[in-house]
């Protein structure tokens, strides 16, 4: 076991996840916000991007993963993240909070700038080790999600599918929702066994997601 890590059993049956290795978060700090591609930091360390619809719970999930309450700003007003926000974790990795998509109240001009900014980053960023693609567990993928899934697959990006707000669904509802979700993404080869259910409230899924992140980031 690497120094500063704790082994935790996932407690999840029927899923292809190994014993979890959760890092001790020594430092987590906001680095910068990029409104253009040339404003991104040097790609000299691996990074993971968090992608999803506005109000899917990206900021809350990142705070939960890191054990911080207010590192990533949360808002009751969807669409507030308007840049690529970089956070330096343990001086080893970057977490990147991407702008949410699909919120009707965001101005037309801002929507027009979202596409080039995010798509260029997802397509060209060499240090991008994986994309955590968040989906509200109560909803199904719409046109924007399907487009982005195909975009990422075509470029060979590693994608970690996460169903957020898992505490909002009863256990009996999950199987049905998971089948509908994976059926919608079946042409893109999304495996039901690789989908992580996550709740920032109960911390369900935190171990499994860290396990996947560390596999992409190369450990400590």
The answer to whether position 37 is within a domain reads yes
- For residue 94, the model assigns a pLDDT of 96
Contact of 134 with 52, CB cutoff 8 Å: yes
- Structure tokens given for 168: 């909002």
The answer to whether position 34 is within a domain reads yes
Strand partners, 130: 48
- Structure tokens given for 194: 């690789």
**Total count of domains within the chain:** 1
The answer to whether position 15 is within a domain reads no
Strand, coil or helix: what is 83? coil
Element (H, E) at 58: helix 58-66
The answer to whether position 14 is within a domain reads no
Query: Cα(142)–Cα(132) distance, rounded to whole angstroms?
Result: 17
- On average, the pLDDT of the chain sits at 84
- Residues 148-190 pLDDT 10s: 999 999 999 999 999 999 999 998 899 999 999 999 999 998 9
The answer to whether position 127 is within a domain reads yes
- The mean per-residue pLDDT over the stretch 112-130 comes to 89
- For residue 19, the model assigns a pLDDT of 53
CATH number of the structural domain spanning residue 83 = 3.40.50.300
| Whether the predicted pLDDT of 73 surpasses 90 | no
43-52, 75-84, 124-133, 157-166, range with the lowest pLDDT = 75-84
Query: Cα(219)–Cα(145) distance, rounded to whole angstroms?
Result: 29
Residue among 174, 163, 92 at smallest CA distance from 133: 163
- The mean per-residue pLDDT over the stretch 93-98 comes to 95
- For residue 218, the model assigns a pLDDT of 86
The answer to whether position 4 is within a domain reads no
The answer to whether position 77 is within a domain reads yes
Query: Cα(220)–Cα(215) distance, rounded to whole angstroms?
Result: 10
CA dihedral for 42, 44, 45, 46, sign (positive or negative): positive
- For residue 111, the model assigns a pLDDT of 53
The answer to whether position 21 is within a domain reads no
* Cα distance between the two ends of the chain: 11
Domain holding 168, by residue range, is 28-217
Strand, coil or helix: what is 6? strand
Strands 84-89 and 28-34: antiparallel
């Amino acid at each position: 076991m690497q120094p500063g890590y704790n082994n935790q059993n996932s407690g999840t049956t029927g899923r292809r996840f190994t014993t979890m290795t959760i890092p001790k978060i020594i430092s987590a700090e906001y680095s910068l916000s990029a409104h253009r591609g040339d404003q991104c930091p040097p790609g000299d360390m691996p990074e993971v991007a968090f992608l999803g619809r506005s109000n899917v719970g990206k900021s809350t999930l990142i705070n939960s993963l890191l054990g911080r309450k207010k590192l990533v700003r949360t808002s009751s007003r969807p669409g507030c993240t308007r840049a690529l926000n970089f956070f330096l974790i343990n001086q080893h990795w970057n977490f990147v909070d991407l702008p949410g998509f699909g919120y009707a109240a965001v101005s037309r001009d801002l929507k027009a700038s979202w596409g080039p900014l995010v798509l260029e980053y997802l397509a060209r960023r060499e240090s991008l080790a994986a994309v955590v693609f968040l989906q509200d567990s109560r909803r199904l993928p719409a046109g924007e999600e399907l487009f982005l899934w195909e975009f990422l697959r075509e470029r060979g990006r590693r994608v970690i599918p996460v169903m957020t707000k898992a505490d909002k669904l009863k256990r009996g509802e999950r199987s049905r929702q998971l089948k509908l979700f994976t059926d919608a993404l079946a042409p893109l080869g999304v495996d039901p066994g690789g989908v992580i259910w996550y709740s920032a409230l109960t911390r369900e899924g935190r171990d499994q997601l860290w396990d996947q992140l560390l596999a992409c980031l190369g450990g400590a």
